[in-house]
Amino acid sequence: MRKSIYIHVPFCEQICHYCDFNKFFLENQPVDEYIDLTIEEMKHTVKKYPQTNTVETIYVGGGTPTSLTTEQLQRLLEAVPKHFHLAEDTEWTVEVNPGSAGADKFAMMRRTGVNRLSIGAQTFDPVLLKAINRDHQPDQVEETVRLALEAGIENLSIDLMFGLPGQTMEHWKDTLQKAVSLPITHISAYSLKIEPKTVFYQMMNKGKLKLPEQELEADMYAFMLEFLKGNEFDAYEISNFARRGAVSRHNLAYWNNDEYYGIGAGAHSYVEGQRIRNHGPLPKYMKAVREKKLPYLEMHEVTFSEKMEEEMFMGLRKRLGVSKERFENRYGRTVQEAFPGVTEDLKKAGWLYETPERFMLTDEGLLLGNEVFEKFLFAAD
Amino acid sequence: MKPEDRINRRDRIRNFSIIAHIDHGKSTLADRILEKTSALTSREMQDQMLDAMDLERERGITIKLNAVQLLYKAEDGEEYIFHLIDTPGHVDFAYEVSRSLAACEGALLIVDAAQGIEAQTLANVYLALDNDLEILPVINKIDLPSAEPDRVRKEVEDVIGLPGEDCIPASAKAGIGIDEILEAVVKKVPAPSGDPEAPLKAMIFDSLYDPYRGVIVYIRIMEGTVKPGEKVKMMANGKQFEVQEIGVFTPKPVPKEELTVGDVGYMIASIKNVGDSQVGDTVTHAAKPTAEPMPGYRKLNPMVFCGLYPVDTNNYTDLREALEKLELNDSSLQFEAETSQALGFGFRCGFLGLLHMEIIQERIEREFGIDLITTAPSVIYEVTKTDGEVIEIDNPSEMPDAQQVDHVREPYVKAEVMVPNEYVGPVMELCQRKRGDYLDMKYLDENRVNIVYEIPLSEIVYDFFDALKSNTKGYASFDYELIGYKESNLVKMDILLNGEKVDALSIIVHRDSAYDRGKIIAEKLKNLIPRQQFEVPVQASIGQKIIARSTIKAMRKNVLAKCYGGDISRKRKLLEKQKEGKKRMKSVGNVEVPQEAFMSVLSMDENK
C-alpha cells in the first residue's frame, strides 16, 4: 500500500543551529527551476512506480516551504493533483515558519487543497529562540495560527523542542502552557539532538554548548506527558499528541511501515520494497532530473528480516504499538516466533506490555525507546 | 673469493645508519639514497620503502629493522658497497638501536633546518658515539621558508660538539645535497676493519620469522667469512645450525656464495625459534669458533606486564594463535594464560616497555581482527609474606591479603633525563612526585643538563613519558635501566562496580598516593562507563576500607524523537550503531563496561 507523498523544499532564509536537514540559503538559488524539476520528478516517478492507491496524505516539508513566494509555492502545490490521484479526504500538510506566510499565502494554500499546517514554534521563550537561531518572535506563532484559521485551515500542529541549551523546567512549562492555550489540534515535541554538520555540533566539540542533564530532559518529557493529557492531547506516538483524534495520518504511515513517495532534493521514498534516497546537493539533483533520470543517490531493497525489524521499531513508537494480527498477516509468523525471547525479556525489564491484540511500550519503555528498539534488530553478524 | 679480493672488497664497504627525529625526514632521505644508488628501479620504488609495516607508517616509527645493500659509483671512479641499516626510534627499543648501530661504522644525523635538534635524537647520537661511529650531520629541509641552517649549525656545534662546517645542507624532498651526502659517506665513514681470514664473528642485529624458511637472521660480519653448508654456533646458548642460505637485501633478498668482513645481510639456517637468534648475540663457526663474542650482548627481559583479554570470549583461541604468531618474530614478547573473574580467559603478557605493549595490542586488533581489553600495566613485585615465603607477582590480583604481607619490594630504574636547563625545575619536580630519589645532575654544556634519579619502574609505567613530554614541551630525552629492587610501602587497591570487586581493575599503589588515585579513578570510570539501566556505585577500596566513591546515574532517557521526513534508514543506522557499541563492551557483573575503562587506571591525567 502506497498512499503518501513527501515533498522537500530545501530553502531557508535562516539556518537554525540544530538543523542537519538538507537545506540551503534561499538567496541566489535557482528556486524556479527547482520547482520545475520537482514537478518533472513527480511525472517520472509515477511512470516508474504507478500508484497502487489514491494518495491519502501529502506532506510538504523542508527547509522552509513558506520561504517560497506565493506564486512559486502555488505552482508546486498545484502540480501534485495533476500527477497523482488524490482521495476525497486527503490530509495535506505544509510546514510553516511563524511569520513567513501571510493571509495571501494561506488563502492560496487553502484553495489548492492544503488542510493542515505544521508550525515551527519550537519554544515561546525569545531568548531560547535566538539561541537556536530561529528568525521569528514568540507572538508570531499566535499570529500565524490566527491567519491560518481565517484562511480556513483548521487542522493546525505546532512543533516544540525541549532539552535546549539553557532551557529550564520553567521555560518548558511556560511553552507548553502557551501551546495548549492556542486553538490548535496537534503538538509534535522533539528533544534536541546534536547532529554533525550543525552549528551546535561545532559548539559542543569546542565545549561551548551547555545542554541540560539527562535527568532534566527526562523530567521535561514526563511533565509534558502529564500536562498534555490534562489538556486533552492524546499521546498517540512517542513525540506526537493530538486533540480530538486529529492525529497526523502522514506520520502514522511511516510508523505503520507503509510505503510512500518522496519528491525533491534529499527526499526519501519507500516504493515497491525499495528504500530510496535522492541526491541532496541541488546541482546533482537538478542535473539528474534535467537529464530525465531519477535522481537517486542510493536504493536499498528491504529484506524480509529488515521489514520485520522495522515493523517493530517503528510500530512500537505508537501508543497502540504493534498489532499481533497485522504482524502475522504481513509476515506469516508471530512476533514471538520472529524474535524469540525478546518480548519476554522486555516484559521482564518492565519496558513492554502485551495485551491479547498488541505489544506496546510501557511509560518507562517510552523514555528508553531506543534500548527497546535495538532488541528487535537481528544480530548484525 | 681470494683473500686479497676480500680485503679489497672490505675497503670499499661503508656501513651506516640514519639517526633522526620523527618527521625530520629520515624515510624521505632513505628513499632518495635508494634512488641514487640504483637499488631499485623507479617502478619498484614505493614511497618510504624502508618502513614496511602499516603501523610503522602511521606512527612514523620504525619497529623492525631493515638493512639494504646499495652500490654507489663515487666521484673517484670506484664503486662502493653501502649498507644502510635502519634503526627503531624509541626508548623501548634502545637496546636494538645500540646493536644496529654496533653493526655500523658511521651514522647520518638528520636535523630539521627549522626545528633544530630534538631531544629524542640526542639519546641516539650518544648511543652512536658510544659505539665509536663517525657522525655526519645533515641539515635537512633547507628549502623550507622557516629554515635557519646557521642557527642549527651552531646548535650541532654546541650540543653535540661536531664541527659546524661539517654539516651538509640538504633537502631530501627536493633532492638537494644528496650527492654531497653520498660522497661524505665514502670519504668520512671508515671502512670495516676485521680480518676476513680470522674465525667467524658475526653479530645478530635482528631476526624475523618466515613461515616457509624459518628464522631469517640479520647479521653483520665483523671477522671471518661464512658460506652455505657450514656449521655455525650461537655463542649465547651454544646451539648449532647448518647454514642453508646467506645473502643480502637489495632490498629484495639476493643469495650470495659468501658473506665476509663488512657485509650486512641475512642467514637462513633451519632455525625454528627466534629465541635462538637473540639480538646482540654472536654467530661463529662450530668447528673453529672465535675466542670472544662481541661485547654488549644482553638478554632482554620484559619489564612491563598486562592482561590481554578478548572482548568476545569466543576469540580466546584466536588470541592465542595471534600471540603465537607475533612471538615468532618477537623474542621479547612473553605470554601465559590467565583467568580473570571479570574478564574470563586471557593472557598475561610481558613487554619491553609501554610502546612495545601498545604496538602488540594494536597489531592484534588490526592484523588479527580481535577486539581486546587491556588491563593496566604492572611490573613484577616481590612480596615477602609473614611466613617468610617470597613470591613474585606481575598481576595485582595475585597480591596476598594485607595481613599475610610482611613487606613488598618493587623494581627501580636509574632514569637519566637530558633536558635544556630551563626545564630542570619541572623535571625535578616530576621525578620527585614520581617517588624518585635524586642521584646526580650534570651540565653537559652551557645549555644541556643531565639529571639522574632512581625511580620506581611502576611510576615510569604509569604516565611518566607523557608527563615528561608535556612538562618539557618535548625537549627532554629519557633513558632508563633497571637497577634492582627496593622496599616500598605498597598496597593493593581494588575497584568495585555495583558492589562487586573487578579484579581486572585492581592496581598496586603507594599508600601515600592511594587516596588521590582512588578518587581520580572513581571519577574517570564514572565518565567512561555509560549510564546503565540502574544506578551503579563506583568504589575504590584498600582491603575492606572504601577510600573513594562516585556514582554512575541510571539512564533516564534514550529515545530519538524526530522522524526525519521518512528517513527510516537513518533510524536503523542509529540503532545498529548503538547495538554494535554494546557488543564492544564487556559485561562485568551486570554492568556494561567499555574497553577504555580498563586502561583508565593507567593515566592519571584528570582531564582525559
How near does any CA of chain A get to the CA of B462, in Å?
A: 28
| Cβ-defined contact of A277 to B564 (cutoff 8 Å) | no
Using the 8-state DSSP alphabet, how is residue B62 labeled? -
All three cell numbers of B104: 655500523
B356 is in an annotated binding site: no
Report the pLDDT value the prediction gives residue B562, as an integer from 0 to 100: 65
Residues of chain A with Cβ-Cβ distance to B582 below 8 Å are 374
| Cβ-defined contact of A8 to B575 (cutoff 8 Å) | no
Please report, for residues A31, B6, B220, the alpha-carbon distance to residue B12 in angstroms, rounded to integers and kept in the order given: 77, 10, 16
Predicted confidence (pLDDT) per residue in A218-268, tens digit: 999 999 999 999 999 999 999 999 999 999 999 999 999 999 999 999 999
B25 is in an annotated binding site: yes
| Cβ-defined contact of A214 to B557 (cutoff 8 Å) | yes
| Cβ-defined contact of A306 to B572 (cutoff 8 Å) | yes
> Which regions of B245-317 does DSSP assign to beta strands (E)?
245-249, 253-256, 259-260, 264-268, 282-285, 304-310
Geometric angle at alpha carbon B500, from B374 and B398, rounded to 5°: 55
Please report, for residues B201, B202, B222, B484, B487, the alpha-carbon distance to residue B295 in angstroms, rounded to integers and kept in the order given: 11, 12, 12, 22, 33
Residues of chain A with Cβ-Cβ distance to B557 below 8 Å are 191, 214, 217-218, 221, 367-368
Distance CA A148, CA A183 (A): 11
Task: Identify which of A152-166, A189-203, A366-380 has the greatest average pLDDT.
Answer: A152-166
Report the pLDDT value the prediction gives residue B60, as an integer from 0 to 100: 40
How near does any CA of chain A get to the CA of B571, in Å?
A: 9
Cis peptide bond N-terminal to B89, omega within 30: no
How near does any CA of chain A get to the CA of B556, in Å?
A: 6
DSSP string of B155-204?
Answer: HIIIII---GGGPEE-BTTTTBSHHHHHHHHHHHSPPP---TTSPPEEEE
Residue type, A230: G
DSSP string of B88-155?
Answer: --SGGGHHHHHHHHHT-SEEEEEEETTTB--HHHHHHHHHHHHTT-EEEEEEE-TTSTT--HHHHHHH
State which H helix or E strand residue B7 sits in: helix B3-11
A45 pLDDT band, cuts 50/70/90, is very high
What residue has cell string 624458511? Answer: B213
Report the pLDDT value the prediction gives residue B548, as an integer from 0 to 100: 95
B397 is in an annotated binding site: no
How near does any CA of chain A get to the CA of B562, in Å?
A: 6
| Cβ-defined contact of B569 to A214 (cutoff 8 Å) | no
| Cβ-defined contact of A369 to B574 (cutoff 8 Å) | no
| Cβ-defined contact of A310 to B561 (cutoff 8 Å) | no
Which of B531, B559, B563 has the CB atom closest to A369's CB atom? B559
Is B439 in the A-facing interface, judged by CB distances under 8 Å? Answer: no
* Residues making up chain A, counted from first to last: 381
- CATH architecture of the domain B382-424+437-460+470-488 equals 2-Layer Sandwich (3.30)
Report phi then psi at B114, rounded to 5. Answer: -95, -40
Contacts of B239 (CB under 8 A, 6+ apart): B233, B276
- By the 8 A CB rule, do A320 and A358 touch? yes
Burial class (CB in 10 A: 0-12, 13-18, 19+), A276: buried
Look at phi and psi of residue A212 and say left if phi exceeds 0, alpha if psi is from -120 to 50, else beta.
beta
Residue A50 has pLDDT above 90, yes or no: yes
Report the pLDDT value the prediction gives residue B51, as an integer from 0 to 100: 43
The CATH number of domain B3-188, selected from 1.20.59.20, 3.40.50.300, 3.40.50.2030, 3.30.300.30: 3.40.50.300
- By the 8 A CB rule, do B543 and B511 touch? no
Which of B557, B558, B575 has the CB atom closest to A313's CB atom? B575
Comparing CA positions, the residue from B57, B155, B566 lying closest to residue A269 is B566
Contacts of B5 (CB under 8 A, 6+ apart): none
SS3 B1: coil
SS3 B59: helix
B26 is in an annotated binding site: yes
Report phi then psi at A172, rounded to 5. Answer: -65, -45
How near does any CA of chain A get to the CA of B365, in Å?
A: 18
| Cβ-defined contact of A374 to B575 (cutoff 8 Å) | yes
Distance CA B323, CA B330 (A): 10
A310 pLDDT band, cuts 50/70/90, is very high
A81-85: which pairs have CB atoms within 8 A and are 24 or more residues apart? Answer: A81/A113, A83/A39, A83/A42, A83/A43, A83/A46, A84/A5, A84/A42, A84/A46, A84/A51, A84/A55, A84/A261, A85/A51, A85/A54, A85/A55
Report the pLDDT value the prediction gives residue B50, as an integer from 0 to 100: 46
State which H helix or E strand residue A115 sits in: none
Q: Which residue of A has its CA nearest to B564?
A: A21
Please report, for residues B17, B29, B214, the alpha-carbon distance to residue B133 in angstroms, rounded to integers and kept in the order given: 10, 20, 33
Geometric angle at alpha carbon B521, from B516 and B527, rounded to 5°: 135
- Positive or negative CA dihedral for B139, B143, B145, B149? positive
| Cβ-defined contact of B568 to A374 (cutoff 8 Å) | no
Mutate to test the interface with A, among B534, B559, B570, B590 (most CBs of A within 10 A): B559
Whether domain B201-285 has CATH 3.40.50.720: the reply is no
Distance CA B327, CA B274 (A): 8
Distance CA B512, CA B491 (A): 10
Distance CA B468, CA B479 (A): 12
How near does any CA of chain B get to the CA of A239, in Å?
A: 6
Please report, for residues A362, B189, B540, the alpha-carbon distance to residue A313 in angstroms, rounded to integers and kept in the order given: 14, 73, 40
Please report, for residues B233, B320, B488, the alpha-carbon distance to residue B243 in angstroms, rounded to integers and kept in the order given: 10, 31, 50
Is B562 in the A-facing interface, judged by CB distances under 8 Å? Answer: yes
Cis peptide bond N-terminal to B251, omega within 30: yes
- Positive or negative CA dihedral for B570, B571, B574, B575? negative
Residue A94 has pLDDT above 90, yes or no: yes
Pairing of strands B214-223, B225-226: unpaired
Predicted confidence (pLDDT) per residue in A333-368, tens digit: 999 999 999 999 999 999 999 999 999 999 889 999
B187 is in an annotated binding site: no
ipTM of the complex: 0.91
Give the residue numbers in A contacting B (CB under 8 Å), as ranges. Answer: 6, 8, 21, 59, 61, 189-191, 193, 214-215, 217-218, 221, 238-239, 251, 254, 260, 262, 267-270, 275, 277, 300, 306, 309-310, 313-314, 349, 366-371, 373-374, 377, 380
- By the 8 A CB rule, do B141 and B164 touch? no
All three cell numbers of B460: 615510569
Comparing CA positions, the residue from B197, B184, B191, B221 lying closest to residue B11 is B191
Pairing of strands B225-226, B245-249: unpaired
Whole-angstrom Cα Rg for chain A: 21
Residues of chain A with Cβ-Cβ distance to B527 below 8 Å are none
Is B291 in the A-facing interface, judged by CB distances under 8 Å? Answer: no
| Cβ-defined contact of A260 to B566 (cutoff 8 Å) | yes
SS3 A360: strand
Q: Judge if B304-375 and B492-602 fold alike in CATH terms.
A: yes
Using the 8-state DSSP alphabet, how is residue B565 labeled? G
Which of A191, A239, A268 has the CB atom closest to B567's CB atom? A268
Distance CA B469, CA B482 (A): 21
Is B607 in the A-facing interface, judged by CB distances under 8 Å? Answer: no
Distance CA B396, CA B581 (A): 29
- By the 8 A CB rule, do B414 and B454 touch? yes
Is B173 in the A-facing interface, judged by CB distances under 8 Å? Answer: no
B315 is in an annotated binding site: no
Pairing of strands B545-552, A11-12: unpaired
Q: What is the CATH number of domain B492-602?
A: 3.30.70.2570
Comparing CA positions, the residue from B145, B136, B142, B150 lying closest to residue B112 is B142
Residue burial A178-188, b: 16+ Cβ < 10 Å; e: rest: bbbebebbbbb
| Cβ-defined contact of A374 to B561 (cutoff 8 Å) | no
Report the pLDDT value the prediction gives residue B56, as an integer from 0 to 100: 45
| Cβ-defined contact of B559 to A367 (cutoff 8 Å) | yes
| Cβ-defined contact of A269 to B575 (cutoff 8 Å) | no
Residues of chain A with Cβ-Cβ distance to B553 below 8 Å are 214-215
Comparing CA positions, the residue from B536, B523, B539 lying closest to residue B592 is B536
Distance CA A9, CA A112 (A): 17
How near does any CA of chain A get to the CA of B475, in Å?
A: 29
Q: Return the domain boundaries, chain B.
A: 3-188, 201-285, 304-375, 382-424+437-460+470-488, 492-602
Predicted confidence (pLDDT) per residue in A79-90, tens digit: 999 999 999 999
State which H helix or E strand residue B208 sits in: strand B201-210
Report the pLDDT value the prediction gives residue B91, as an integer from 0 to 100: 55
Distance CA A117, CA B495 (A): 56
**Chain center to CA of B448:** 25
Comparing CA positions, the residue from B475, B512, B476, B514 lying closest to residue B492 is B514
Please give the class, per CATH, of domain B304-375: alpha beta
B557 is in an annotated binding site: no
Give B164's Cβ-side CA count (13 Å radius): 11
Report the pLDDT value the prediction gives residue B538, as an integer from 0 to 100: 95
Comparing CA positions, the residue from B134, B22, B13, B25 lying closest to residue B84 is B13
Q: Which residue of B has its CA nearest to A220?
A: B557
Q: Which residues of chain B have pLDDT under 50?
A: 41-65, 605-608
